[in-house]
């Protein structure tokens, strides 16, 4: 039973490019959360999705960031026109329901140069 | 608002000693309190959690206590080993938003000296 799978593990983008981060939840899990971790800091909630629905996006920056969790395939966190301040580790977590244990992937470390 | 304070930020102990990390939260509606361990370059790993209907939970060398009245909870690690060295995060969920999103503390870097 594979855990939460994130890819790529490392991503380098130049300023102004787009970054796409993928997350496949654990088998049987239909709830996905994205978090951002800046160096030497804790994790900050970004968005909560269920299949084809955004449930809570209160932590998402208003511009350039978007997320989706289609009926088929992984959840995608998309960052348009990246800036240096977007450099961080982005973690995805999944849970079976919205009120059970959440398990994290290994993260995608985005570096904007 | 939603806020979790975690202390200390760093903790150094000798192998075999106990380690205690404390967190306080602000949302009285919170009902789920997990603890995560994060090793360098890896994702957070759930090590223990507690719900608001119990005051204490233990799993081998790890225990968590919850005081809902005072809105604080603690992680206790006994007989520490070098492999316990990592960053530990407390979190809370189930508060006013009740969406399952986790609000994390700032983290505690635990160093266990052999």
* pLDDT one-digit tens code per residue, B30-89: 899 999 999 999 999 999 999 988 899 999 999 999 999 999 999 999 999 999 999 999
Q: Label residue B98 by pLDDT band (50, 70, 90).
A: low
- Name the DSSP class of B93: B
Contact call for B101 and A48, based on CB within 8 A: yes
The pLDDT of residue A41: 81
For tokens 């059970």, name the residue.
A100
Using a 10 angstrom Cβ sphere, with 0-12 exposed, 13-18 middle and 19 or more buried, the burial of residue B29 is exposed
For tokens 């594979």, name the residue.
A2
User: Which residues have C-beta within 8 Å of that of residue A30, sequence separation ≥ 6?
Assistant: A50, A51, A96
Cα distance between residue B99 and residue B50, in whole Å? 17
Q: Which residues of B touch A55 (CB under 8 A)?
A: 99
Picking from A78, A34, A76, the residue whose alpha carbon sits closest to that of residue A52 is A76
Contact call for A56 and B94, based on CB within 8 A: no
Q: Which residues of B touch A105 (CB under 8 A)?
A: 43
The pLDDT of residue B3: 86
pLDDT at residue B96 is higher than 90: no
For tokens 């290994």, name the residue.
A106
Using a 10 angstrom Cβ sphere, with 0-12 exposed, 13-18 middle and 19 or more buried, the burial of residue B70 is exposed
A4 touches chain B (CB under 8 A): yes
Looking at every residue in chain A, the average pLDDT score rounds to: 94
Comparison of pLDDT for B96 and B112, the residue scoring more: B112
pLDDT at residue B97 is higher than 80: no
Identify the H or E element spanning A89: strand A88-95
The pLDDT of residue B12: 98
In angstroms, how far is CA A43 from the centroid of its own chain? 12
Q: Label residue A56 by pLDDT band (50, 70, 90).
A: very high
Identify the H or E element spanning A93: strand A88-95
The pLDDT of residue A1: 53
Q: Label residue B1 by pLDDT band (50, 70, 90).
A: low
The pLDDT of residue A97: 82
Q: Label residue A99 by pLDDT band (50, 70, 90).
A: confident
Q: Which of B34, B97, B106 sits opposite A42 (nearest CB)?
A: B106
Comparison of pLDDT for B2 and B53, the residue scoring more: B53
Which one of A42, A49, A89 would you mutate to disrupt binding with B, by most B Cβ within 10 Å of its Cβ?
A: A42
Q: Which of A31, A59, A104 sits opposite B100 (nearest CB)?
A: A31
The pLDDT of residue A39: 82
Q: Which of A48, A91, A104 sits opposite B99 (nearest CB)?
A: A48
Comparison of pLDDT for A100 and A79, the residue scoring more: A79
């Amino acid at each position: 039973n594979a855990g939460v799978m994130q890819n790529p593990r490392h991503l380098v983008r130049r300023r102004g490019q787009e970054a796409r981060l993928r997350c496949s939840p654990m088998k049987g899990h239909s709830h996905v959360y994205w978090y951002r971790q800046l160096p030497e800091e804790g994790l900050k909630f970004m968005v909560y999705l269920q299949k084809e629905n955004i449930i809570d996006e209160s932590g998402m920056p208003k511009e350039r960031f978007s997320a989706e969790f289609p009926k088929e395939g992984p959840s995608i966190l998309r960052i348009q026109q990246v800036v240096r301040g977007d450099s961080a580790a982005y973690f995805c977590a999944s849970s079976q329901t919205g009120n059970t244990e959440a398990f994290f992937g290994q993260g995608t470390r985005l570096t904007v140069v | 608002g939603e806020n979790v304070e975690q202390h200390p930020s760093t903790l150094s102990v000798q192998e075999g000693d106990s380690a205690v990390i404390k967190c306080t939260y602000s949302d009285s509606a919170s009902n789920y309190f997990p603890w995560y361990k994060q090793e360098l370059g890896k994702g957070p790993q759930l090590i223990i959690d507690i719900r608001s209907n119990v005051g204490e939970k233990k799993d081998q060398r790890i225990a968590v206590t919850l005081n809902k009245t005072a809105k604080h909870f603690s992680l206790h690690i006994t007989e520490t080993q070098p492999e316990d060295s990592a960053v530990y995060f407390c979190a809370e969920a189930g508060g006013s938003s009740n969406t399952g999103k986790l609000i994390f503390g700032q983290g505690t870097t635990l160093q266990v000296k052999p």
